[in-house]
Amino acid sequence: MAIKTQPAPVARVKTEPAKTPESAQSPEPVGQPAPDRWRVALVQMAPVLGDRRRNWALHKDRIAQARDQGADLVVFPELSLTGYFLRDMVPDVALPLDSPEIRDLVEVASPAALSLGFVEQTPGAKFHNSALFAEAGRVVHVHRKVYLPTYGLFDEQRYFAAGQRIQAFDTKRFGRVGLLVCEDFWHLSAAAIMQAEEVDMLVCVANSPARGVQGQSIATAETYQYLCRAYALLLGAVVVLVNRVGYEDGLCFWGGSMVVGPDGRVLAEAPQLDEALTIAEIDPAELRRQRVITPLARDERLLLLIEELERIKRRRYDSHS
Amino acid sequence: MTRTPETTLADLSINAPLVERILVGFIQSEIRRTGLSRAVVGLSGGVDSSVVTFLAVRALGAENVLAVTMPYRTSSEETRRDSRAVIEQLGVATRDIPITDQIDAYFARQPDASQLRRANKCARERMTILYDQSAEFEGLVLGTSNKSELLLGYGTQYGDMASAINPIGDVYKTQLYQLGAHLGVPASILSKAPTGDLWVGQTDEAELGFSYADVDRLLYLMVDRRWQGEELRQAGFDGEFLRQVADRVRRSHYKRRLPVIAKLSHRTMDRDFRYARDWGT
- pLDDT, one tens digit per residue, over A173-206 is 999 999 999 999 999 999 999 999 999 999 999 9
Strands A73-75 and A113-122, how do they pair? parallel
CB of A216 within 8 Å of a chain B CB? The answer is yes
Q: How confident is the model at residue B25 (pLDDT cuts 50, 70, 90)?
A: very high
Flag if A48 and B30 touch (Cβ within 8 Å): no
**B234-274 pLDDT, tens digit each:** 999 999 999 999 999 999 999 999 999 999 999 999 899 99
DSSP A125: T
Rounded to 5°, angle at Cα B42 from B38 and B46: 125
Flag if A250 and B30 touch (Cβ within 8 Å): yes
Smallest Cα distance from B233 to chain A, Å = 24
Q: How confident is the model at residue B198 (pLDDT cuts 50, 70, 90)?
A: confident
CA distance A102 to B112: 69
CB of A86 within 8 Å of a chain B CB? The answer is yes
Flag if A50 and B279 touch (Cβ within 8 Å): yes
Which chain B residues are within 8 Å of A252, Cβ to Cβ?
22, 25-26
**Predicted pLDDT at B178:** 97
CB of B109 within 8 Å of a chain A CB? The answer is no
Cβ under 8 Å to A: B residues 246-275: 273-275
CA distance A3 to A277: 11
CA distance A293 to A284: 15
The answer to whether B98 and B126 have CB atoms below 8 angstroms apart is no
Burial of A312 (0-12, 13-18, 19+ CB in 10 A): exposed
CB of B6 within 8 Å of a chain A CB? The answer is no
Q: How does the average pLDDT of chain A come out, rounded?
A: 91
Q: What's the pTM value of the predicted model, to 2 decimals?
A: 0.90
- Other Cβ atoms within 10 Å of A304 Cβ, number: 9
DSSP A2: P
pLDDT at B3 over 70: no
Flag if B22 and A252 touch (Cβ within 8 Å): yes
CA distance A185 to B111: 65
Q: For residue A53, what is the nearest residue in chain B, using CA coordinates?
A: B280
**A8-35 pLDDT, tens digit each:** 334 445 666 655 444 444 444 444 556 7
Flag if A49 and B224 touch (Cβ within 8 Å): no
- Other Cβ atoms within 10 Å of B213 Cβ, number: 15
The answer to whether B245 and B239 have CB atoms below 8 angstroms apart is no
Which chain A residues are within 8 Å of B178, Cβ to Cβ?
none
Flag if B278 and A252 touch (Cβ within 8 Å): no
Nearest by CB to B25, which of A50, A213, A273? A273
Nearest by CB to A215, which of B13, B26, B30? B13
pLDDT at B1 over 60: no
Of the candidates A7, A4, A50, A42, which has an alpha carbon nearest to the alpha carbon of residue A248?
A: A50
The answer to whether A243 and A224 have CB atoms below 8 angstroms apart is yes
pLDDT at B44 over 60: yes
Flag if B11 and A214 touch (Cβ within 8 Å): yes
- Other Cβ atoms within 10 Å of B110 Cβ, number: 11
Flag if B276 and A248 touch (Cβ within 8 Å): yes
Flag if A217 and B15 touch (Cβ within 8 Å): yes
Q: With H, G, I as helix, E, B as strand and everything else as coil, classify residue B157.
A: coil
CB of B30 within 8 Å of a chain A CB? The answer is yes
Cβ under 8 Å to B: A residues 40-59: 48-51
Flag if A215 and B165 touch (Cβ within 8 Å): no
- In order of B45, B63, B160, the CA distances from B87 in angstroms are 10, 12, 20
Smallest Cα distance from B14 to chain A, Å = 5
